[in-house]
Amino acid sequence: MRVLLGIIGAVIVLGIFASVLRTLVIPRPTPAGFTGFVQRSVSRPFRFMADRLHGVEAKDRVLAPVAPVSIVITLLGWLLSFMLGYGLLEAAVSGLDVHDALYEAGSSLFTLGFASSRRAGLTAIDFCAAATGPIVVGLQIGYLPTLYNAYQRRETEVTLLQTRAGAPPWGPQILARYAQVDLLDDISDLFRGWERWCAVVSETHTTYPVLIHFRSPKADRNWLIALLAVLDAAALRLAFNPSQPQARTRLALRAGFVCLRDIADIRGIPYDADPRPEDPVRLGYEDFLRGVERMRTYGYPMERTAEEAWPHFRGWRVNYETLAYRLAQDIDAVPAPWSGPRRTTLSVWSPPTPVDRRPAS
């Protein structure tokens, strides 16, 4: 029996050590394991409450604490698991029952020391437990600034996009707004910036998957919806303006769907790695025409008709639409045009951007 307790205790301690290393130390995407289980468990009650509320802001207020709370619960879960593992090890090498062994392990892990034993076998385990507690807490404290720095870098571009696309953002609105303020010659700068943004998000959100669930400071903004809007703007630009420079636009598009695929890989979401341009998309042609009309209203120049551009736009969108819709549903992103349905509400149309009024000459 004690041998079995020792084996179980060793497996728990080594398994949690591996989880701590994968989450806080190793700078590369690794399977979620324990942290993924905690994230799913924590999110269920919040999502249950959010599903029974009406209104985007009310849902967002309920869902906003999910990621921070999961970080705290993860730390507590690690410490309690270490206490259980060390307690079973101490029960295996001594005559203590499980209750007393857990009591001594907890005393050592949290560096209280009130239940330390003088037996050599237990003292060695007590030393390991006493070192483990501060190390795990220290690593978690050092992890938080890195996490929030990555969050701030992500949200800066999302906030800047609001002036170009409204809130929530929408691909046709980006092109319409750029045409409205005579900035189409500079739109390559937007795509260049979002190409780099995609690289940063791909690296940080696969290394620290909890960032996927961190919500923007305002309910009508969301990192995924912003990315989808930029990708749609790039696809529309390529579909309607084949004579314009395409390098930056294509690079931004590719960076965007590679980013989505990297995040899908870490979350275990299947996808077609090589879709065909003629494959169907969920966005309907009528919704596409509504977006085209928005662009035309604000004076966006088009070299192709909507009918001619549709196959080209669809051929680009097939690379990212499925993953964007799935992730938007998973994280309960703010409903927005061309972003698919949510679990409890359908996508909505954003209010029109006011006309850029200028003094008459």
Cβ contacts of 158 within 8 Å, gap of 6 or more: 216, 221, 222, 223, 226
- The predicted pLDDT at position 311 comes to 95
Q: Which helix (H) or strand (E) holds 285?
A: helix 285-297
- What are the distances in angstroms from CA 117 to CA 79, 96, 97, 177? 21, 11, 14, 72
Q: Report pTM.
A: 0.88
Domain ranges in the chain?
Answer: 2-141, 166-330
Q: Which helix (H) or strand (E) holds 71?
A: helix 66-93
Instruction: Return contacts of 303-309, CB within 8 angstroms, 24+ apart.
Output: 303/240, 303/241, 303/242, 303/243, 304/239, 304/240, 304/242, 309/236, 309/239, 309/240
Cβ contacts of 139 within 8 Å, gap of 6 or more: 20, 24, 25
- The predicted pLDDT at position 114 comes to 53
Please report, in tens digits, the pLDDT of each residue of the chain (361 residues total).
778 888 898 999 999 999 898 888 887 777 768 888 888 899 999 999 988 888 888 899 999 999 999 999 999 999 999 999 988 888 888 777 788 888 888 888 886 655 555 555 567 788 888 888 888 889 888 888 989 999 999 999 999 998 888 888 999 999 999 999 889 989 999 999 999 999 999 999 999 999 999 999 998 899 999 999 999 999 999 999 999 989 999 999 999 999 999 999 998 899 998 999 999 999 999 999 999 999 999 999 999 999 999 999 999 999 999 999 999 999 999 999 999 888 776 555 444 444 555 554 4
The closest alpha carbon to 206, from 150, 272, 149, belongs to 150
Pairwise CA distance, residues 162 & 305, whole Å: 28
Pairwise CA distance, residues 87 & 70, whole Å: 25
- The predicted pLDDT at position 349 comes to 47
- The predicted pLDDT at position 200 comes to 95
Tell me the torsion sign for CA atoms 226, 228, 233, 234.
Answer: positive
DSSP string spanning 249-262? HHHHHHHHHHHHHH
CA 112 to centroid of chain Cα atoms: 38
- The predicted pLDDT at position 122 comes to 64
3-class SS at 214?
A: coil
- The predicted pLDDT at position 354 comes to 47
- The predicted pLDDT at position 150 comes to 93
Q: Region of 349 please: left (phi>0), alpha (psi -120 to 50) or beta.
A: beta
